[in-house]
A and B are shown apart, each in its own frame.
Chain A
Amino acid sequence: MQDVKEFREQMQPAILEGKHDFATVSDKIGDITLKRKTPFHWFVGFAIAFLITQVLLMTITYLVLTGVGIWGNNQPVGWAFDIINFVWWIGIGHAGTLISAILLLLNQKWRTSINRFAEAMTLFAVACAGLFPLLHTGRPWLAYWLLPYPNTMGMWPQFRSPLMWDVFAVSTYATVSLLFWYVGLIPDFATLRDRAKSKVFKIIYGVLSWGWRGSARHWHRYEIAYLLLAGLSTPLVLSVHSIVSFDFSVSQLPGWHATIFPPYFVAGAIFAGFAMVLILSIPLRHWYNLKDFVTMTHLDYMGKIMLATGLIVCYGYAMEAFFGWYSAAQYEYFMIRNRIWEGPYWWSYWLLILCNGISIQLLWFKRFRQSEFWLFTISVIVSIGMWLERFVIIVTSLHRDFLPSSWAMYSPTIFDWSMFIGTIGFFFALFYLFVRFVPIISIFEVRTLLPEAHVHGHHQDFEEIVNEVEIEKIDKP
């Protein structure tokens, strides 16, 4: 009997803990939005995030009134915080799509309890990312020039430019992520509509659920649409960060012009994204008492994915250095030497290796993957590391270019920082609103995790097989 128990635990790590049925799952998740008093820490957290958002708004106001000269980027470092932060934010978003789409296609059931807030994270991260290129245009009120529309100037966007590809990739990504997220929410809004006591919430959630009534025919088409969206989002998410990496790798600059960039960027994006999912889910499961749904198994799996993608990123670092040496091109070789030890930014490179390369080695051990403290700490370190990675790639490649007479140092101004920190506040402010008004875990999908959700007598499910094994063991001691 002991063996069977162990076997069962191994085969079915707890992705749902505690005693639950359809009703308790619905109530426990739905009531966070609907019934429970908004906790005090929500007001404190939202107030702080909202205040930081004001810093962002003030920076943007000053920026629009004055011009991008308030930032520190200038020749030769013409791209700095604006693109570093853009890539950082958009990368963070990628874990949400990976969880919602790729893990769905791979039939990873544990994704079910974390996909909702991970997708929300994607949306908010993309919103923050979009601000940077938009404002870096200098005249954001003319940003619609990026779109191909017939105009009196008789001109069209230049489709051979990776920056134009970026416009299409990021806007498609934002749109499809929103659609995916919203489609997942329709049945849950219906649950809230039916549970709401107040007329106002009944109407609001009723409108949001579009009259969903859980008909079998509707579910049939719904599941097809959901699966197809997952199938479409998977190549989309891979293409988005590949295209973001094309912004660099299609150019001729040493340090950017490398074939490894697309996979290396995609892995880095997922790496940073999972770090952010952990940063969000660890406090969330404590504050809202969701440990039954977001279990240690989830955190452990996310730790493993962070380790795997982190190692791919480290391979990227190794290859960058190898290319620099093996290319036998003097500019390439100079760039990598300048980046790693000869240049004034050597510290940023080694800090990056420490954050992204060394710190994640702890994740090899179950002890660290099972500790919320360590996972949270490593996630914060990785987030810093992934920001540094973009800093290293962008600044150390640009600041000493082909002509020594044009070399210069780059340093960010206070407005670079206020804008960056402002978007972090904006991100968390949006996330706080999401936690308050939208079910943070997909209720209908968690219902399907319950054993009683399976229809019996038509196919043998895992539970039944194990029961048979148990019975056999009892029969033949």
Chain B
Amino acid sequence: MSEKKLYGIMAEFDTPTELVDAARRVRDAGYTKTDAFSPFPIHEIDEALGIRRSILPFLVFGGGVLGLLTGLGLQYYTHVIDYPIIVGGRPHFSLPAFIPPAYELTILFASFTAVFGMLFLNGLPMPYHPVFNVPRFALASRDKFFLLIERRDPKFEYEETRKFMESLNPQEVFDVEE
């Protein structure tokens, strides 16, 4: 390593099974600042890396409730408070007729929360990330699987961690520059 700063050490694997097995051993060795990269979602990796369940579902539920209240509130305000007018002999607050718009807004708000909540929690959009400095990493979106231990991991020790990564039977081990 010359003057360029090290971000972490990355290992490349050929199959998802190898990746998950390696991730388990990394976790068992006590590393915590780790990440895996794959061209498609692998469910087993969550447990192998010790990824905790996201709070996203609760946010989406909150978004839905907010949408419902917005829908009902909007219709209540416009038809009961601001401009009460009798239409078709219905009461000012005609709940059955107000359900469809409130229902649609529930779904709209919940969907926005799901998408933008996911992007926000993932820290996207992110135009630059050190992992892209490894030329082989372009294959992470095609057919290769990568495992990363970051330098800020308390257990990170360059020589030792690199040796440990090499012991996991990877195709190759790379230094990731900042």
Contact bitstring A189-200, B, C-beta under 8 A = 1, else 0? 011011100000
Per the bound structure, the CA–CA distance linking A43 and B26 in Å amounts to 53
For B56, list chain A residues within 8 Å (CB): 221, 224-225, 228
B88 part of interface (Cβ distance < 8 Å): yes
Size of chain B's interface in residues, with CB distance under 8 A?
A: 68
Contact: B17 with A221, CB < 8 Å? Answer: no
Contact: B45 with A216, CB < 8 Å? Answer: yes
Per the bound structure, the CA–CA distance linking A216 and B60 in Å amounts to 21
Size of chain A's interface in residues, with CB distance under 8 A?
A: 68
Contact: A158 with B87, CB < 8 Å? Answer: yes
Closest to A212 in B: B124
Closest to A24 in B: B143
- Residue A176 contacts which of B37, B42, B88, B107 (CB distance < 8 angstroms)? B107
- Residue A216 contacts which of B46, B83, B98, B119 (CB distance < 8 angstroms)? B46
For B15, list chain A residues within 8 Å (CB): 452
> A17-71: which residues lie under 8 A (CB-CB) from chain B?
21-23, 26-27
Contact: B118 with A216, CB < 8 Å? Answer: no
Tell me the interface secondary structure of chain B in the complex: helix
Per the bound structure, the CA–CA distance linking A175 and B101 in Å amounts to 15
- Residue A211 contacts which of B36, B45, B57, B126 (CB distance < 8 angstroms)? B126
B29 part of interface (Cβ distance < 8 Å): no
- Residue B138 contacts which of A194, A221, A456, A458 (CB distance < 8 angstroms)? A194
Tell me the interface secondary structure of chain A in the complex: helix
> A233-264: which residues lie under 8 A (CB-CB) from chain B?
233, 235-236, 239, 243, 246
> B68-82: which residues lie under 8 A (CB-CB) from chain A?
74-75, 78-79, 82
B2 part of interface (Cβ distance < 8 Å): no
Contact: A159 with B17, CB < 8 Å? Answer: no
> B84-124: which residues lie under 8 A (CB-CB) from chain A?
87-88, 90, 94, 97-98, 100-101, 103-105, 107-108, 110-112, 114-115, 117-119, 121-122, 124
Tell me the A residues contacting B by CB distance below 8 Å: 21-23, 26-27, 148, 154-160, 162, 164-165, 168-169, 172, 175-176, 179-180, 182-183, 187, 190-191, 193-195, 206, 210-225, 228-229, 232-233, 235-236, 239, 243, 246, 444-445, 447-448, 452-458
